Amino acid sequence: MDKILLTGLLACLAAVSCSRTESMDDLTERVFTRASEQFALLDANLDEAGFSEDNALCPRYADHEGNLVTSNIWWWCSGFYPGSLWLVYEYTGSEDMKALAQKHTEVLDSIRFRTNDHDVGFQLNCSYGNGYRLTGNQEYKAVLCDGAHSLATRFNPVVGCLRSWDPAPDHIAAWKFPVIIDNMMNLALLLKAAELCGDDSLRTVAESHAMTTMKNHFREDGSSFHLVDYDPVSGDVLVQQTVQGFADWSSWARGQAWGLYGFTMMYSYTGGQQYLDHAVKIAEYLIPRLPEDGIPYWDFDSDKIPDDLRDASAGAIMASALVTLSGYVPEASSDKYLSVAERILRTLASDEYLAEPGEECGFLLKHSVGNKPGGVEVDVPLTYSDYYFLEALLHYRDAR
């Protein structure tokens, strides 16, 4: 009898627990409501800091003392806040959010002619790209086309890649032609502009970069190096190393996420089976190494360090990529990828990671790691965490 009563009690408790589980629709509504509040606060804080058309401040992070740290438009993350505003507008239909998105997008106009950095894709595709997708604004389209052609000037046909970084005083090595895994993300601008502007040469550049990266950035197990340096004359690989990861041999979490997302995106645009196969290989490497709650350590090989840090940004990027990838694979894999993405999203939407109203200067997610070896942006909110979190939620909504 006692055993029967215990079994009944456990079943009852399980039923109550299940009834209290927040649906993903309700979770998404809660997060986007919070994002609306937080991003309006962030806009007000930028205005207070002196934002204007002539002084286009962009949010970078909130420091540990609660101060808003800003950047100018040339910082590689300048497109993520306007991109997030466009995603909130997409979900809510709020004209106030649309106005803020336009305000913070259009100050980035001059980036369209930038040729000295590879992050034009991040900067313009997230901002103007989403703006064009949602409004059809023809000027936004022109910015995307100009930006893609500017980015393509960094392509070296001997190497087969776009150069990531130019020489600068803060670079730690005298690279000849450095290419970082992050650069996979900038290919989306080239592929989108190839369609919008009718220029197949942009697609050719993107595909060459992706194939060369697949060949030289990745190890046999599906993990990747952060940086590969090439000889710009011969195209030979000179060094494979990390800059922001734990070690040259390790798997820097956000870099792994960029690779997963980047090759999934390449398949989305081109239908090339080699890209899909590689994205699956990366996913199958990453998933077994995730902690129980789905949020990776800042480097997959740093998990033995006591009290080491998780990286919400890597988790958000992976979640968005896995949801998209789930639409291209057989049902068993699709279910697995969606399940892992949901686990990550539920954790990010928890009190541990989601900022309370008025916290973090208006950012949405806490606990991201920018560059731990460099001691920069460590355990702080970051704009790209917010962007890919919201994007992942929208993708998840549309995938079901």
Q: Which residue has the tokens 């958000």?
A: 316
CA distance 249 to 341: 27
Check 109, 146, 182, 229 and give the catalytic one. 182
Provide the token pair at 82. Answer: 């306007």
Provide the token pair at 160. Answer: 């087969």
Q: How many helices (H) and strands (E) does the chain have?
A: 14, 9
CA distance 187 to 183: 7
- Interaxial angle between packed helices 200-216 and 273-286, expressed in degrees from 0 to 180 and rounded to the nearest 10: 40
Which residues, 6 or more positions from 243, have their beta carbon under 8 angstroms from its beta carbon?
A: 172, 180, 226, 227, 371, 373
Provide the token pair at 62. Answer: 């909130």
Nearest of 171, 350, 341, 191 to residue 263 by alpha carbon: 191
Which residues, 6 or more positions from 288, have their beta carbon under 8 angstroms from its beta carbon?
A: none
Provide the token pair at 209. Answer: 């970069």
Per DSSP (E only), the strands in the chain are 58-62, 68-71, 155-156, 161-162, 178-180, 227-230, 237-241, 368-371, 376-380
Question: Is 54 noted as a catalytic residue in this protein?
Answer: no
User: What does the angle CA 308 – CA 283 – CA 393 come to, to the nearest 5 degrees?
Assistant: 80
**Nearest 5°: phi and psi at 266?**
-60, -40
- CB burial of residue 103 (10 Å; 0-12, 13-18, 19+): middle
66: left (phi over 0), alpha (psi -120 to 50) or beta: left
Question: Is 119 noted as a catalytic residue in this protein?
Answer: yes
CA distance 140 to 120: 14
Check 43, 109, 117, 119 and give the catalytic one. 119
Catalytic positions are 119, 182
